[in-house]
Amino acid sequence: MIQVSNQQPPSSGAVTTEAPIRAEGLTRIYKVGSRRIKALDDVSLEIPAGEVVAVRGRSGSGKTTLLNCLSGLDEPTQGGVWLNGQYITRMNELGRIKIRRAKVGFIFQSHALMPNYSAAENVDLMLRLAGWGRSERLKRTREVIKQVGLIDWIDHRPFELSGGQQQRVSIARAIAPRPAVIFADEPTGELDVQKGAEILNLFRDLAETDGTTILVATHDLAVDNYADQVIYMQDGRIFDKA
C-alpha cells in the first residue's frame, strides 16, 4: 500500500531503514524562458518493498518527472527523496551514481542502448558496472535475455532489432543485476499484447520472489491488472490512488 506522510525531509543526508521509495513534499519547477513550469507539485508518497506500482496520467501530468526525481536522475526544486534507505536529495552525483549502479534498474522509453554493443554486451555492461565477476556475468546475461524471449537475438546490435526487441533488451539490462528497485517508463509501449503480458508477469515474479519494488509510468491499462497499487497523476499532483 502507498502511504502518504507529512514528515519533513532532513536538512542534510540521512540513512533510514524505511520503504525503498519515499518522497516528501516533492516539487520540480522548470524554467522555460521567463515561464516557470511546475512539473511536480508537493508530491509525498511511500512505496514498500515488493510492490508493483503503476503511475498513470496524461502526457505532461508529471509521471516521468516523478520517476526521474525518485531515482536521482533529476533533483527536485523542493522536498526530499529517500532511495533504498538513503536520503539522496542534494547528494553529490557520484554518490547517486553508486546507489543507482548497486541497487537500481532503469527501463527508459527511449531504450538508451549502446548502439555498437550487441544485446548481450548491453546487458553485460550493466553487470560490470555493478561489480559482477566474468563467469557470473556470462551466466546471468544469457538467463535474462532468455527471460525476455531474445535468446536467438543475443548477438544482434540495436539497429538489427525492432523497437519492441530493443525494449526487451532494455528490460533485460535493467533486471540483470537483481536491483532492489526498478523504475520503468512505458516498458510495454512498443510491445504487442502477448509480449507485454509476459513482461508484466516477469515484473510480478520479481516483486513476489525477489522482493523487487517496481514503479511503472504508463498509459497501458493492462498494467493495472498486475499492479498492487495505481497512482493517478494530474498537473504534477497525485489526485487519486487505487
Quote the pLDDT of residue 9. 42
Give me the pLDDT at residue 18, please.
Answer: 67
Q: Where are the beta strands (DSSP E) in 103-147?
A: 104-107
Distance, CA of 165 to CA of 209 (rounded, Å): 25
CA nearest neighbour of 7 among 27, 18, 23:
23
Q: How many residues does the chain have?
A: 242
Domains of the chain: 49-74+101-241 (3.40.50.300)
* pLDDT tens-place values along the chain, 242 residues long: 434 333 344 433 433 446 899 999 999 999 888 889 999 999 999 999 999 999 999 989 999 999 999 999 999 999 999 998 899 998 898 999 988 888 899 998 888 899 999 999 999 999 999 999 999 999 999 999 999 999 999 999 999 999 999 999 999 999 999 999 999 999 998 899 999 999 999 999 999 999 999 999 999 999 999 999 999 999 999 987 76
Q: Which three cell numbers stand for residue 175?
A: 533486471
Beta-carbon contacts of 225 under 8 Å, excluding residues fewer than 6 positions away, are 200
